[in-house]
Chains A and B, each alone.
Chain A
């Protein structure tokens, strides 16, 4: 993880080498004085600042883009009044400038064509590309109905296209951010508290006395304000308890690191609940006043003792008791963090329920140092005609999963594979801002679905792998070059932020809103796009909210007073949760009625066969998904992932740090590329670990192509959450191959 100093080392070695190198350097000094001036000038140059909010990840921190007169972006700095970043962007936000400067960006629309029997892309004009897309929209609607045109999306561009699709008559919309990421936690907490956790999570970390992280690696995930508040919590002497089979960065900041056996978290939480109830150290008043189903919970956990959990989790009973007591001592200023990417083992809603229940009996929801009562301000909808009502939509596609509250990307993809019982045939797809070939496992299924589609269009800023499957590729300009919707933050107090282009779009790239409008107009939906520039939409909305673009250009972020009441539950006042019972539902009648366990149970999950290791994956602080691997600034910080291997395993197989290996999983899927081994005590002997988002297949990504392994490629087996349709991805096992499996033999 040490920052790359490759060139540094190379050049200082040359310097040592002898006179030649030094002389040539010396010869350059004719211009050095001038260059030095240029550096100084660049540094002190008067720069223009434009408000934006970051699009490198979903945290959407507000900041200022600093650009010079020639239209070069010099730097991006956080907005000090923004509750997402408090003036400090993370490395990805600071390095967001690389999204703009990346010379590998998509530069012009591309259309798939056949030349001499070979499929290839030809460069096209926007007119040509948009006309083709519009004709396909019309054709699909005539032939199958608008519902058969699906949208898979993420982030700001997705919002504009969602509007287009709904106007067109399709709500066959999904994003991997739900079923492949945080959906299970939203379902688990909604079942318990009546509302989603949401983003950013309303965790009152800055005032907490005890932060419990279960597989959540704050610090490696740079969820900015949470990272900052965790730092504040450390300053304030808060106890951090980290449950992770890997010694994460957060584990290194923790008083207690519980090196749990993978896939056994629910057992640990049941034992914690057992201790807290048995020892009578739960928040009796809160439980009495605000919860329902405590007695059922008490009976349920009776036998889930720390001794029972020890055999499952490998966490010693005294450690389970000690940490349970520390949580109770800190309560209600305690947070069992809901996590973010929680699609692990298929019983993820139940794991989230266990977390929600723990928070419930400790009385932390709605309390200082626990979870604050979040609030946001709604942005007025820019007027447009009513959307038509589709005959079926994402709800129908995901009908097997009763608690799915958003489209399930994998189900939408499955719906593209024709079969006799497929009532909801997906025939065309638009993909925007999400590289589904890296975020969706079961590659064979995904490729089959994409193959069956009659038409596929991808919009992105970069030639991500998924663009290779498209019929039309649209180059979107980066967030630094476009207007987007107003960001309304859900936080301690409501606030909004705007994104204003700092520079003109590079190459022939265009903003997402423009693309949506252009397609819409070609479909006769012009009245849904009743503006010439998205600036007009924002200006209108800001006016309704009592401000203006002129003011927002000066402040970037505007705060509004709370209207829903205090930040925490007032002890002497009645408080109702938005559940059926109006209380925190420790025991879930809703789940019971749907035929699921009303209280969470531990289920044993498969373990690695002999010679295999469980594949775990996570984040590096300088990268987002697979989106940033080619970003010149961020690639410079980390250009490939490595395979964390415990020294014991390394000894058995004979591995050394830096050695190249390949992986083969339980279904005999072999990784396309190699990965460098990193022998470290920070990982268990029953699992290996890598950072997600590397191993890019597209050669057009000159820096990222072939660097490291794509963990998602190795996930060919998934465990589906029966409650909300989440895609459990942590049940895959890999062998480590030291010989290149692709080596050709010369005869």
Chain B
């Protein structure tokens, strides 16, 4: 089991529903977010390209945040999900600095917080909150080890990219382009 998320940038409209759904699902305090929207504009009027996409923790196979954590609070499950155990976290911020995706933040209660792929929902057989609400259905979630999963098939058939591949982190969030 290797969980991955695939996001179709050709469909994303950048509405931020994923952001607010994550906040209400995971009690993320207002002013903070575990996922966010980026917008990239290239070209000049009237030959322009626009890419909108939803970003979050990439649950990297080679996760620098896990390696640099002095207490073991940042850890990786067998299914690839990277989590932070709040009461083992000393809030040193090393993981925040090590993350090439700027995906972690210090929760006002002190510990470091980030996307969990809605681990608590997966346990109940539900999709991550962001995936389940997206009005454009541009987000897919599943198991890369299963060649017949929707995510495996999309990655097989569609052109895609990951963010900051040069960091060598082997991200598990893929973008269809």
Contact = CB atoms under 8 A, between A and B. Distances in A.
Given A39-B27, A95-B20, A33 B14 contact: no
A353 interface: no
B50 interface: yes
Contact of B86 (A33, A76, A95): A33
Q: Taking each of B20, B37, B46, B93, which has the highest tally of chain A beta carbons within 10 Å of its own beta carbon?
A: B20
Contacts of A16: 93, 97
Given A3-B19, A249-B50, A228 B136 contact: yes
B19 A247 contact: no
B120 to A, nearest CB: 5
Interface string A4-23: 11111001100110000010
Interface stretch (A607-615, A629-637, A659-667, A716-724): A629-637
B125 to A, nearest CB: 14
A706 interface: no
Contacts of A224: 135
A632 B52 contact: no
Contacts of B165: none
A222 interface: yes
B101 interface: no
Interface string A203-229: 000000000000000011010100110
B14 A249 contact: yes
A235 B41 contact: no
Interface stretch (A24-32, A269-277, A368-376, A577-585): A24-32
Contact of A634 (B20, B132, B136): B20
A43 B31 contact: no
Given A33-B86, A222-B15, A681 B48 contact: yes
A219 B11 CA distance: 10
Given A29-B87, A228-B136, A637-B20, A22 B33 contact: no
Nearest to B121: A43
A231 B16 contact: no
Interface string B13-27: 111110111011111
Contacts of B31: 4, 6-7, 636
B32 A7 contact: yes
Contact of B50 (A6, A12, A75, A682): A682
A15 B50 CA distance: 34
Given A228-B136, A636-B31, A252 B109 contact: no
Contacts of A637: 16, 19-20
A116 interface: no
B155 interface: no
Contacts of B38: 2
A15 B17 CA distance: 29
A2 B30 contact: no
A558 interface: no
A33 B46 CA distance: 55
A97 B23 CA distance: 11
B106 interface: yes
B133 A15 contact: no
Contacts of B11: 231, 234-235, 253
Nearest to B93: A15
B3 interface: no
B48 A247 contact: yes
A88 B43 CA distance: 33
A684 interface: yes
Nearest to A260: B46
B93 A94 contact: no
A2 B36 contact: yes
Q: Taking each of A43, A89, A257, which has the highest tally of chain B beta carbons within 10 Å of its own beta carbon?
A: A43
A530 interface: no
Contacts of A220: 13
Contact of B111 (A12, A36, A90): A36
Q: Taking each of B16, B23, B86, which has the highest tally of chain A beta carbons within 10 Å of its own beta carbon?
A: B16
B136 A633 contact: no
Contact of A77 (B23, B133, B135): B133
Contacts of B136: 219, 227-228, 230-231
Interface in B89-140: 89-93, 96-97, 105-106, 109-111, 120, 132-138
Contact of B21 (A4, A94, A249, A680): A94
A295 interface: no
B105 A36 contact: no
A259 B46 contact: yes
B68 to A, nearest CB: 14
Given A2-B38, A74-B24, A94-B133, A682 B48 contact: yes
Given A22-B93, A36-B87, A78-B133, A633 B15 contact: no
Contacts of A90: 15, 17, 135
Contacts of B16: 3, 91, 621-622, 637-638
A31 B87 CA distance: 9
A39 B39 CA distance: 31
Interface string B28-58: 0011110011110101111011111000000
Contacts of A6: 31
A12 B25 CA distance: 24
B164 interface: no
Interface in A256-271: 257, 259
Contact of A682 (B41, B105, B133): B41
A621 B39 CA distance: 14
A646 interface: yes
A247 B45 contact: yes
Given A88-B135, A228-B136, A94 B24 contact: yes
B15 A91 contact: yes
A21 B36 CA distance: 26
Nearest to A217: B13
Contacts of B17: 88-91, 94, 621
Contacts of B120: 40, 43-44
A43 B36 contact: no
A28 B91 CA distance: 10
A199 interface: no
A409 B170 CA distance: 58
B39 A1 contact: yes
A50 to B, nearest CB: 16
Interface string A628-664: 0000111011100000001100000000000000000
A88 B13 CA distance: 14
A280 B10 CA distance: 34
A10 to B, nearest CB: 10
Contact of A29 (B20, B32, B45, B90): B90
A44 B120 CA distance: 8
11 contacts: A7-B32, A22-B92, A43-B25, A78-B133, A88-B17, A90-B17, A219-B13, A228-B135, A252-B52, A622-B20, A685-B45
Given A36-B111, A75-B24, A621-B16, 14 more contacts: A3-B33, A5-B105, A8-B105, A22-B90, A29-B91, A32-B110, A35-B86, A85-B135, A90-B135, A91-B19, A94-B17, A94-B20, A228-B137, A247-B45
User: 8 tightest CB-CB pairs across the interface, nearest first?
Assistant: A219-B13, A15-B93, A621-B15, A25-B91, A252-B50, A3-B36, A33-B87, A36-B86
